[in-house]
Chain A
Amino acid sequence: MRLLLGTVLAMLAGLAHAATVAISCGAVGRELELCREGAEAWAARSGHTVRLVSTPSSGTERLALYQQLLAARAPDIDVLQIDVVWPGILAPHLADLSAAARAVADEHLASLVRNNTVDGRLVALPWFVDLGLLYYRRDLLERHAARVPRTWPELTETAARIQRAERDAGNARLWGFVFQGRAYEGLTCNALEWLASHGAGALIDAQGRLDLRPAPAAAAMALAASWVGTISPRGVLNYAEEEARGLFQSGHAVFMRNWPYAWALLQDAASPVRGRVGIATLPAGPDGAPAAALGGQQLAVSRYSREPEAAASLALYLSGRAEQKRRAIAGGYHPTRPALYADPEVLAASPLFAVLGAALDDAVARPASVTGPAYNRVSFAFANAVHAALAGQSDAATSVRAFERQLRRIKRRADWAAPDRR
């Protein structure tokens, strides 16, 4: 495979003139450095040159910048790093990479390729993934002879038991489970995991139809609502990722649902729970399979690029096997290629990769690509319906019905099921 890619690159380099390709990549942690190294390696092999464009680190602001540039049909950025929920929003401005990536598309996680395909066009190549994971306190589970929960009811029971026992023993501020309960995108991810693992569907299917079975959905929401105030602090209703990590990292929670980024921070030298934390795939519903919300970043090529071939070649190289492996080992970025999770060198780099490899099969994508520009509306309506159920303002079944009604309102404004949106 590497040979084939190399040949393709050599052919492209030989045919085309030396081009300058501008790429925007994130700048969180070592992101920029790794991106530069990768892009320069491509430049050295292909004979082209690359230019790194710095963009805002906040996702919302980066999206706004992209939209401004793309709406003006500006050729300033050829290759764009985009979030997993943006393909639907940006699709009209992105080049179709299906032909260029024909040979490699099925090497990536299928759910990501589906997510990045809008109206039959592959508008972005998967670069690295994020998945919802379960963090647990190994020491507390051992002390109370509990195993890592495999289902949500089991988690509820274990968390309650350890919380009670620990509180009786004087650890008065310990909580059983923390997650992201604020009414925002994070709650959409959490709740999607609850629903999908209960067999309640994934909100909207690939054809744009409502994919929500009310009875299991209400059961999943009712279970989550039962946590608030019992095994989860009421404050969880306003927790995002960092608030949940704060409580868990200071040693005040048994279980936490969070993204992979928390692992490195929990193992930091200054972390009070260093060496006492385990990770696992998220629990399943009573008779469903586990589900992990899919996040991550993709590489897209702008339609207004003056060097579309070179830009596609760079995107292919960066999302290629060798580069993803290098990034996994050097920076802990999680490959989008399932095969790499069997690679001994990758597995040796961090214990996270083994767990993530197992969670890949459970990945459930948010309905962003199919809903396109209306996704944020859908997500907000869903998060608020769930939030109302968690806060006890309405019961779970009422929340599900309210969301269905709201969805019909949204759908009327932006009919994503129709081939032409406008």
Chain B
Amino acid sequence: MTRAVGPATLRARRARAAWWLLAPTLAALALAAGWPLARTLWLSLTDATLADPGDFAFVGLANYLEHDAGQWYGVLADPQWWRAVRNTLIFAVASVALETVLGVAIALALDVPFRGRALVRAAVLVPWAVPTVVSAKLWAWMLNDEFGVLNHAALALGLIAAPIAWTADPDLALVAVIVVDVWKSTPFVVLLVLAALQMLPGECYEAARVDGVHPVRVFFRVTLPLIWPALAVAIAFRALDALRVFDLVYVLTANSASTMSISVYARQQLIDFQDLGFGSAASTLVFLTIGLAAIVYLRLARLRPEEVR
């Protein structure tokens, strides 16, 4: 009696092997991400405080939204939360858009062979290599209204009449945070796009040159579609990073309401205000916001999750 080893059983065996190989990762993920997430979710339904985390009562969804005596309460009724959402969205859209455009432009320039290219490529990566807290502190001094080099240079060149208080002025502070993030994160986009550019087939470009196609048209019709998968991954990473921005905002402008991001808001509730329940509700909303943004983006970019690794 012979047993037929068909493709179906083989596939089943391979699938089983794959699950076994994945098991340690899944277990680690459940411990490192799943458990804290579940706990945050549970805490957000209680009135626990940091002062005595063991003593709490179940309050349902009151930390999110609650109606009492003609007034709405909870994170979703807190004007400061919505201001933080607005700040975060402005920050994410503006910084990611600028980083994408600048990143692609710089990558295209670095793709052209020239003397000292290796050196320039290495230099471009420096901002990305500097820890965020360090670069934020560095920029805080450069942006300082009285001693900052930026005001000094602009004054010397006659661009401004009086020093500008970049991080102090509520209207300018968010702009300053965006500028610093663009400086820091553009190299990341450059790196990914450059890698994609180097894999492009030369024939397409030769064909385009033979046909006499305008370089701008070549970029939009040939280059962009070919590097899109890599660019889409870069944008996905940047967008998710930007939505949970914390260190940059916190170092540059601390808890200021004019620049507060949703992560800074959640930290303030949890640590400064000791409110474990309310803070967990805010943290859960941060998680949901980012998760939702990721799903919407993957749909829009028509990118299947398997490609984002």
Q: List residues of A whose CB falls within 8 A of some B CB.
A: 60, 64, 67, 71, 89-90, 92, 173, 181-184, 233-239, 243, 246-247, 252, 373-374, 376-377, 380, 384, 387-388, 391, 393, 409, 412-413, 422
Contacts and interface: CB of A to CB of B under 8 A. Distances in A.
6 contacts: A89-B274, A234-B168, A235-B167, A252-B146, A376-B272, A380-B268
Contacts of A393: 170
B146 A92 contact: no
Contact of B52 (A92, A243, A376): A92
Nearest to B169: A234
A377 B271 CA distance: 11
A185 B33 CA distance: 34
A409 to B, nearest CB: 7
A258 to B, nearest CB: 16
A233 B258 CA distance: 19
Interface in B265-283: 268, 271-275, 278
Given A247-B146, A374-B273, 16 more contacts: A60-B272, A71-B52, A71-B54, A89-B274, A173-B146, A182-B168, A182-B254, A184-B255, A238-B165, A238-B167, A373-B274, A377-B273, A387-B257, A388-B257, A391-B258, A422-B55
Contact of B168 (A184, A238, A376): A238
Contact of B273 (A182, A376, A387, A409): A376
B144 interface: yes
B253 interface: yes
A235 B49 contact: no
B145 interface: yes
Contacts of B146: 173, 233, 235, 246-247, 252
A123 B194 CA distance: 63
Contacts of A238: 165, 167-168, 173, 253, 256
The 9 closest A-B pairs by CB, nearest first: A235-B145, A238-B168, A237-B168, A235-B165, A234-B165, A235-B168, A238-B167, A391-B170, A376-B272
Contact of A71 (B51, B165, B170): B51
Given A233-B146, A234-B145, A235-B146, A60 B271 contact: yes
Given A173-B146, A247-B146, A89 B165 contact: no
B53 interface: yes
Interface string B277-298: 0100000000000000000000
Most A C-beta atoms less than 10 A away, residue of B71, B163, B168, B268: B168
Contacts of B271: 60, 64
A406 to B, nearest CB: 9
Contacts of A243: 144
Most B C-beta atoms less than 10 A away, residue of A89, A237, A238: A238
